[in-house]
Amino acid sequence: MFFPNSKEITTTPTPTFTFTFSFSFSFSFSCADGSAVMSKFLSSLSPTPSVQSQSAVASIDLGSKCLKVVVVNLKPGQAPISIAINEMSKWKTSSLVAFHSNSQLIGEESLGLLVRYPTKVYSHLPILLSKPFNYPQKFLRSLYLSYDITPDETRDVVVYKTEEEG
C-alpha cells in the first residue's frame, strides 16, 4: 500500500467497481498561542474518504510550483484521459495555500494575497514535507521567503508559525 490509512480496493460481482481510499497527508502550522492548525491543503485536493466511482481514477500531480488533476476514465466510448480544467489558468493550478480571515485559499485565490500578506501564503510545500529541519531552513532562505519556522521537537521537521486572527 502507498498510504498508511489506505483501504483495499473492493469489487462487487456486477460490472460497477467501488473504490474506497483515503489520503493521510498533513503538515502543521503553529499559531502564536502554540495551538496547532492542521493544513487542509492536500485533503481538499484529494477525494472524500469513501468514493463510489464508475470505473474512473483521479490522479493528482502535486508539484512544487503547480499541480494538475487528471481523470483516467475506463468506460468504453469515452476519452481515456482528461485533465481537470481550472477556469483561471486552464490545466495548471498554483501550489499555494493561504490562511486569511478564517478562510483557507488554494491556488490562484491565494496568489492574490501573496503581495499584500506574504507571510500568510505558503509555497513550495511538497519539497519541504518530511525533510529534516536544516533543509527547509536553507531552502526558504535561498528563496528569500520570510516564514517564521521552528523545528518540531519530536520529528525534527519544519513547523510554520502563523499569526492568529481574532
pLDDT score, position 54: 59
Residue 39 lies in a domain: yes
Residue 116 lies in a domain: yes
32-46 pLDDT, tens digit per residue, is 433 333 344 444 544
User: How far apart, in whole angstroms, are the C-alpha atoms of residue 41 and residue 21?
Assistant: 18
Residue 163 lies in a domain: no
Residue 149 lies in a domain: yes
1-55 pLDDT, tens digit per residue, is 344 444 444 333 333 333 333 333 333 334 343 333 334 444 454 444 445 445 6
pLDDT score, position 40: 43
Which ranges constitute the DSSP H helices of the chain? Answer: 41-45, 108-111, 125-128, 134-142
Both ends of the chain: CA-CA distance in Å?
A: 42
Residue 88 lies in a domain: yes
**Residue-number span of the structural domain to which 107 is assigned:** 10-23+34-153
Residue 160 lies in a domain: no
Q: How many CB atoms lie within 10 A of CB 111?
A: 18
pLDDT score, position 55: 64
| Pairing relationship of beta strands 148-151 and 66-73 according to DSSP bridges | unpaired
What's the total number of domains in the chain? 1
99-154 pLDDT, tens digit per residue, is 888 888 888 888 888 888 888 888 888 888 788 888 888 888 888 887 888 888 88
Phi, psi (5° rounding) for residue 112? -65, -25
Residue 4 lies in a domain: no
Whose cell is 469489487? That residue is 11
59-86 pLDDT, tens digit per residue, is 888 888 888 888 888 777 878 888 877 7
In the three-class reduction of DSSP (H, G, I as helix; E, B as strand; rest coil), residue 157 is classed as coil
In the three-class reduction of DSSP (H, G, I as helix; E, B as strand; rest coil), residue 20 is classed as strand
What's the CATH number where 145 sits? 3.30.420.40
User: How far apart, in whole angstroms, are the C-alpha atoms of residue 20 and residue 22?
Assistant: 7
Residue 5 lies in a domain: no
Contacts of 32 (CB under 8 A, 6+ apart): 161, 162, 163, 164
